[in-house]
Amino acid sequence: MTPPLLPVPDLNDTINRFLAQVRPLLDDTDYAEAETAARAFETDTAPALQAALLARAADRPDSSWLADTWLDGYLRIREALPLASNVAFELQTQGADLAQWCAALAAVCADWRHGRIDAPLSPQGLPVCMAQWRILAGAARVPQSVCDDYRFAEDSRHIGVLHRGWYYRVAALDERGEALPAAHFRHAFAQIEQHCESNPYPVAVAAHMGGDDAARLHAALRRHPDNSALLDDLNADLFHVSLSDRADTADDDLARAAFSPDCAVWTYKPMTFCHNRATQRLFWHCEHTWEDGGALKGIIARAAAKLPETNTETAFQAAAPVRRSWQLSAAQERDWQTWQQRYAERAAHMRVCSTLIELDNERIPARTSRDALMQFALQYAQLAAYGRVRNTYEAVDASHFLHGRTECVRPVSEPSLALVRALADGSAAGDALTAALAEHKARVKTAKQGLGANRHLLGLHAEARAAGADTAWFDGAAYRLFCNDFLSTSTLGDDALIRNFAFAPTSAGGLGVNYTLTARGWLFTVSHHAAQAEDVARFVVALREGAVKLADLAAEYAAAL
């Protein structure tokens, strides 16, 4: 069954949703100006853009009107990717070691290769679009001037291992294209770890420059045939493994996996296991131009289900892994450590702060959205710590549409603000909670239907740029506020497979927030710049206070909800 096409929302509905979502962020004067400008845009400029977007949708019966614009937006990022859009997830190991996880993921890659993966169903029972799963063939983002490229391997059977700055290539599939067992990977890792010498010119430094600098370096490296072959292998590998050995705290471990201050990850790959041998924690570093968290969770779930099958025997004989590195000119050798240090200094400023707020989830009515309550807790924390509530991005999976990717919910609403203000002054009652929950549910439903304002306006903006049309409204204060996220938030539900994850804030001075439902309560993971540490500490204290108040209120008014 093919997923339905992503709809193009009605123009008037989108403008109405836009205005409703910026209303709580503006005072009366600024809102009046925003409303006047939006209605003029709806009447004057937007109809032609809507017609162009509808034509684009009609021309793409096997894709979506969003797909090209979405990819272009990611591929034009010029910042080093771990500081812009990459994500690191801490996996629940399920009692398995790294070798078993590699064998299990290789088995999922083999299933993809042989067409053995049926589309999983979304929580709503709809089959998801499998385009994002194509990364299982072996994929990589490739640096180019102005706009990067994205490539898929044609016949990949290997993985890449990064250890002490060196690159090693290890077979993952046999000659039939089937996964090799855990013992094979365990033996390969043991051989690799016998090499104790560190590479003075770490391979992955070339993946941490970002943008046009990276494009120029990669073009220069390709002038040497050995370097060209190494780049081809890095791009084609099914997935990567990065090995480290550092006694970090859980938060520091996650920050290291996410922001890669040691330049130990080829940051253009969608799938990299980062394994800290000292702590035995296992992370997944993701460049997510092509895939979103929902697809990755589906891949991880399929790999986890295969873990018991990984301890089989094989007659496959693999050669010992050979360490490889770049062939550098004298000038490149002189610059390499400078490039590495320059990135490391920037990445070292990134921090991760996680806090588990212990709550009895059973006290909260079963049909009450924990997602909404956790969003309200974040708004309460903003109000208490910063004195105001700013714009928040909440990602909603839309992969049940063909090339649907994600939609954005703006959880800050007039009912939610009324609720958190009442919580702050002690006057909150069940009716305020009911109203806030109803508004949040309606916004999530709209996003799930593919009718959200954010992606629609993104598409209209792309049409305006493509046609050379007037973009004044998109450049205006209200739309820029609408697109600027003080909190960029995301969740993958519970912690059965993924404990938590970290990603760079999407705006200067903002925060990246993952929230996860656990058996013991609500886990929040905040990514931020070191200069924000004091503010974040106050934010986390207020977050705990707000979460407890919300849980108590929901339990108190259980009958009404």
For the annotated catalytic residues, the residue numbers are 288
Q: Smallest Cα–Cα separation from 123: which of 515, 493, 442?
A: 493
Question: Which H/E stretch holds residue 283?
Answer: strand 281-286
Question: Which H/E stretch holds residue 514?
Answer: strand 511-518
Q: Dihedral angle at the C-alpha atoms of 247, 93, 518, 255, nearest 10 degrees?
A: 40
Looking at residue 324, the DSSP 8-state letter turns out to be B
DSSP characters for 167-178? EEEEE-B-TTS-
Longest dimension (CA), the chain: 75
Q: What type of residue is 184? A: H
**CB neighbours of 324 closer than 8 A, spacing ≥ 6?**
166, 167, 168, 169, 203, 230
CB 260 within 8 A of CB 82: yes
DSSP characters for 73-140? HHHT--S-GGGTT-EEEEEP-TT--HHHHHHHHHHHHHHHHTT--PPPBPTTSPBPP-GGGGGGG-EE
Distance CA 219, CA 212 (A): 10
Distance CA 278, CA 373 (A): 37
Q: Smallest Cα–Cα separation from 290: which of 83, 527, 73?
A: 73
Distance CA 312, CA 317 (A): 14
